[in-house]
Amino acid sequence: MTMTSTLDAPSTETVALRDPQDYLTPEVWNKEVALLMRDHPFDQSMAERLLGQAVAYLLTAMEPRGQHRELGPGELVDIAVHTLILDTKPYAEFCRRYNQGEYLHHVPEVERKVDGTVARTAEVVAERGFAVDWPLWEADFTKCSPCHPGTDSH
């Protein structure tokens, strides 16, 4: 009896990363970047990095609905999340387009959790096909998110 084994060749397939900028119109993207620079001490590069991570996080929170995942960004990424959600007309359109027509509510807790939520969220963002800007997330790994668990919210 002869035994043979075969090894699967490593996959050469490359998976294209999702670009957060593809999910906002150029006008909305530029406006949100400008708002971040207006309201915070960020240059254009940092504002764009933060907005990209905020969009990736929000899309991750929206996909798929009904899972009630405990996701939440750290304080730094959350700045850009708030900038986008406070600009209510573009945010409502973003929700309509990418959240099956449903508004994704923001339900913050008063106390911040220290349970690894931010690190786990960054990993889920990566699993959903987005490049994670790790320094922006790692800055808050120990502080963690105050986002309300167990709902389709962020």
Whether residue 143 is contained in a domain is answered as no
Residues 6+ apart with CB under 8 A from 14: none
User: What is the tens place of the pLDDT at every residue in 50-96?
Assistant: 999 999 999 999 987 666 678 889 999 999 999 999 999 999 999 99
pLDDT of residue 12: 52
Token digits of residue 30: 């530029």
- Side-chain-side CA neighbours of 82 within 13 Å: the count stands at 13
Report in angstroms the alpha-carbon separations of 84 from 1, 35, 121, 142.
66, 9, 19, 24
Q: What's the predicted TM-score (pTM) here?
A: 0.83
User: What is the tens place of the pLDDT at every residue in 91-141?
Assistant: 999 999 999 999 998 888 787 777 888 999 999 999 999 999 999 999 877
Instruction: Tell me the residue range of the domain where 89 lies.
Output: 20-138
The total number of structural domains that make up the chain: 1
Q: What DSSP assignment string belongs to 18-70?
A: B-GGGGS-HHHHHHHHHHHHHHSS--HHHHHHHHHHHHHHHHHHHSSTT----
Whether residue 27 is contained in a domain is answered as yes
Q: State the sign of the Cα–Cα–Cα–Cα dihedral 77, 83, 86, 92.
A: negative
Whether residue 92 is contained in a domain is answered as yes
- What single-letter amino acid sits at 129? G
Whether residue 153 is contained in a domain is answered as no
Whether residue 147 is contained in a domain is answered as no
**Closest by CA position to 22, among listed 61, 71, 64, 59:** 59
**Closest by CA position to 73, among listed 151, 136, 145:** 145
More confident residue, 4 or 120: 120
Query: Is it the case that residue 150 has pLDDT exceeding 60?
Result: no
What band does 147 get if pLDDT is binned at 50, 70 and 90? low
Whether residue 150 is contained in a domain is answered as no
| Burial of residue 98, with CB atoms counted within 10 A of its CB: 0-12 exposed, 13-18 middle, 19 or more buried | middle
Whether residue 15 is contained in a domain is answered as no
